[in-house]
Structure 1
Amino acid sequence: MPLRSDWAIGREGFTVDTIISLLKHTALDPRKSIPAYLASLYTVRGRDIARRNPGLAKWLLRAVYAGIALRVKNFLDQGVSNNWVSDTYDWKKEIAVVTGGSDGIGMKAVMLLAEEGIKVVVLDIQPPKYTAPPNVHYFHCDLANPDAIRATCAEVKSAVGNPTVLINNAGFARGKNILETTDDDLRLTFQINSMCHYQLARELLPDMVAKNHGMIITVASLAAYVTAPRLVDYAASKAAALAFHEGLQAEIATVFDAPKIRTVVVCQGYTKTALFEGFSKGDGFLEYPLDPETVAEAIVKAVLRGRSDHICLPKGNSLISGLAGWPIFMQASIRKDTKKKMMAWNGRQVSQPSELVRLAKDKVGSAGEKAKEVGDDVGDKAQEVAGGVKDVVKGIEESAFEEVQAVRESAKKMEESAFEEVQNSSDVTAT
């Protein structure tokens, strides 16, 4: 699976990106537009073509200006992003960590990096869905558990070495609306999509800072710029990941004084992975699903360039990154329009083991509380019954006592009556 040439038509077919790439390598390349413009002015054949095509020279001149402006813009972008310093990488000695590298985009990126001879460490909750080459090392890691991240990073350093490249690729989405989203959904989505970036940086960045050498790639999403219905928690977590990248880039240069450390953010659109099964495929030209290999290639090419960058995919959607500056009516219309793309999407309804354990503990605790409540109710009922039985027994005892007293009174009266009869008999006999 070698890296494809920038000239090659994308795996997605003929799209708007194909046209953008063509313009970038032809009309907007001053190395081609300037000679073409000069030829239209100073060569016989060029003047003849220009004479037969009025306005051609003007369009060529505009292409020259646009190409130069684009080159200047890219020069300034690269200079500022890389702190105006260069660095070199020996890929046989570098160690790249890829989170979520067992399948999807991460798997493709791992295989491409491995083909370049780079030693790769995969951090994932599930084992790789491929036969890993000798230079790929898998470590089981529950990214939803900060303690597991800390322990796994220590294990990686001990067994493989100090990583010099970190690719925060793992992603998670539930696909619920705001009212359906639980606290557990929010906690897990933010932990996987953004909070673990902080935790991994705390473990791996100090060595990069000490050596003033390394790279951190943040795989965010176009959702960081456009929030869609049923994707609010995911979009918010990806916006947090984007903010993490931007802040990290600034702190590396100003706080940590390590200007050679590179930071890259990749904001990709809908990609054909398990995370977004059922998502609308769009019109196939302006809007279309990305192949996982397309995104993986963009990540790996950024790594191999060894420079900081901000990448949007598809390239035709780069304007979306400025959505916050668009008129409000356009922003709102775009967000509402995204609902049509979400109709058949259900998100990824799985949980990390750490989350399942926590939920189980919560349920056990809840069951224990209910059992205690039931036990208390049973105890109260038992006391009530016991009290009732005591009252009944007491009533029976009192009733029996009264009956015995009545019998005794009756017997006493009978004795007195009998005694009187005997006395009367005695008196008669005496007479």
Structure 2
Amino acid sequence: MFDIQGAISLVFELLWTLVKVNYETIRGMWRVVVPAEPKDVKDDVIFITGTGHGIGREVALRFAKLGGTIVCVDINASSNEETVKLIKQEKGKAHSYQCDVTDRAAVMQLAERVSREVGDVSILINNAGIMPCKPVLKQTEQEIKLMNNININANLWTIQAFLPSMIARNHGHIVAMSSMAGLMGLTNLVPYCGSKYAVRGIMEALAVELLDDPRQLNGIKFTTICPYIVDTGLCKKPRIRFQNLMKVVTAGEAADMIVDAVRREIVEITLPYELHYLNRYIYRLLPFPAARAWNAFFNTGVDSHE
């Protein structure tokens, strides 16, 4: 027997879903034109990995200038202390901790220590990463395992360490460093691409998992950063045909865009911004051979270096 009541209910559910889809689409387009106001971070404890140099250091410096309390974490104690020194010279608040973020037990112990000594972490920025640049057959088992431990597993360990307190307060922001190599395959970066695709998957799945949580944890935000080529020393031989379109971004420029994206709670950005639209609305809509033809035309990537 035909269930009329069920059919009517389904139609109304479909109509309501279409209303929500259209609303969110219009809201998303509006935010492109009129970005959200940047949030205040002066009361936040901001935990950043890989702060000994490069993007991590620059992001730490900028958040400190905005009044946040920075927890600087790096495996290199001396360079990390230098970052804290630079912050304190500008009257900022910062704490230095040495930690191997691939060691889950060490990360858990550090989380407890930070909670006691500094306070509950409200913004977690997983920045630490490495990038071997050579053909996949020349990459050793040790190199690949180390890269996956830093680029993938460290994200999971810090999330497991700090997410419980965020859930308890229904307040927090998790930021991950993926890459344009997490949006498209690149020569000489096969394992690295895999690790950065994994980061995007972790962030997307975690957001969905919390969205499905019956506790309505809408106070926890997520931002995934996808830089292309940033001058931090990881990419020693960049190859760029059109410098004005796909320029090498300095660590400072990248940090400015990252801090802005976090404060505006943008879900995902590329560095430079324009590559987001190029990838999402052109590259991903094309048949694979057509996309490869565009790749060959732009001729941009990373040459092998030992």
With normalisation by structure 2, the TM-score equals 0.80
**1:93 and 2:51 aligned:** no
Distance 1:340 1:72 in 2: 34
Give the AA of the match of 1:226. M
Distance 1:197 1:164 in 2: 16
**1:327 and 2:301 aligned:** no
Query: Which string of whole-angstrom CA distances, capped at 9 and with x for unpartnered residues, describes residues 398-430 of structure 1?
Result: xxxxxxxxxxxxxxxxxxxxxxxxxxxxxxxxx
Give the AA of the match of 1:110. A
State the shift of 1:77 in Å: 6.8
What's the counterpart of residue 160 of structure 1?
Answer: 118
Residues 88 and 278 (structure 1 numbering): CA distance in 2 closer, same or farther, change over 3 Å?
closer
State the shift of 1:207 in Å: 0.6
Question: Which residue of 218, 233, 237 corresponds with 2:191?
Answer: 233
State the shift of 1:104 in Å: 0.4
Asked if 2 retains the 8 angstrom alpha-carbon contact of 1:177 and 1:232, the reply is yes
Give the AA of the match of 2:148. F
Residues 199 and 254 (structure 1 numbering): CA distance in 2 closer, same or farther, change over 3 Å?
same
Query: Which string of whole-angstrom CA distances, capped at 9 and with x for unpartnered residues, describes residues 313-336 of structure 1?
Result: 212212214534321112333556
Question: Which residue of 40, 43, 54 corresponds with 1:104?
Answer: 54
Distance 2:262 2:30 in 1: 14
Distance 1:326 1:288 in 2: 24
Asked if 2 retains the 8 angstrom alpha-carbon contact of 1:168 and 1:219, the reply is yes
Alpha-carbon RMSD = 2.6
Distance 1:213 1:72 in 2: 22
Residues 163 and 148 (structure 1 numbering): CA distance in 2 closer, same or farther, change over 3 Å?
same
What's the counterpart of residue 250 of structure 1?
Answer: 208
What's the counterpart of residue 74 of structure 2?
Answer: 124
What's the counterpart of residue 262 of structure 2?
Answer: 303
Segments of 5+ residues of structure 1 without an aligned counterpart are 1-70, 80-85, 348-431
Asked if 2 retains the 8 angstrom alpha-carbon contact of 1:87 and 1:260, the reply is no
Distance 2:108 2:156 in 1: 11
What's the counterpart of residue 135 of structure 1?
Answer: 93
Query: Which string of whole-angstrom CA distances, capped at 9 and with x for unpartnered residues, describes residues 233-283 of structure 1?
Result: 111100000111111111121126311111111111101111112212442
Distance 1:337 1:177 in 2: 21
Question: Which residue of 19, 27, 39 corresponds with 1:75?
Answer: 27
Residues 334 and 178 (structure 1 numbering): CA distance in 2 closer, same or farther, change over 3 Å?
farther
State the shift of 1:91 in Å: 2.9
Residues 211 and 229 (structure 1 numbering): CA distance in 2 closer, same or farther, change over 3 Å?
same
Distance 1:78 1:264 in 2: 19
Asked if 1 retains the 8 angstrom alpha-carbon contact of 2:225 and 2:268, the reply is yes
State the shift of 1:227 in Å: 1.2
Question: Which residue of 220, 235, 239 corresponds with 2:178?
Answer: 220
- Max Rg structure: 1
Residues 101 and 159 (structure 1 numbering): CA distance in 2 closer, same or farther, change over 3 Å?
same
Residues 205 and 284 (structure 1 numbering): CA distance in 2 closer, same or farther, change over 3 Å?
same
Segments of 5+ residues of structure 2 without an aligned counterpart are 1-22
Alignment map for 1:412-431 (pairs within 5 Å): none
**Greater relative contact order (Cα < 8 A, sep 6+):** 2
Asked if 1 retains the 8 angstrom alpha-carbon contact of 2:46 and 2:71, the reply is yes
Distance 1:196 1:338 in 2: 33
Distance 2:61 2:301 in 1: 31
Give the AA of the match of 1:301. D
**1:270 and 2:222 aligned:** no
State the shift of 1:339 in Å: 7.0
Distance 1:265 1:78 in 2: 20
| Higher strand proportion (structure 1 or 2) | 2
Question: Which residue of 158, 172, 194 corresponds with 2:152?
Answer: 194
- Counting aligned pairs with the same residue, the percent is 25
Residues 331 and 87 (structure 1 numbering): CA distance in 2 closer, same or farther, change over 3 Å?
closer
What's the counterpart of residue 176 of structure 1?
Answer: 134
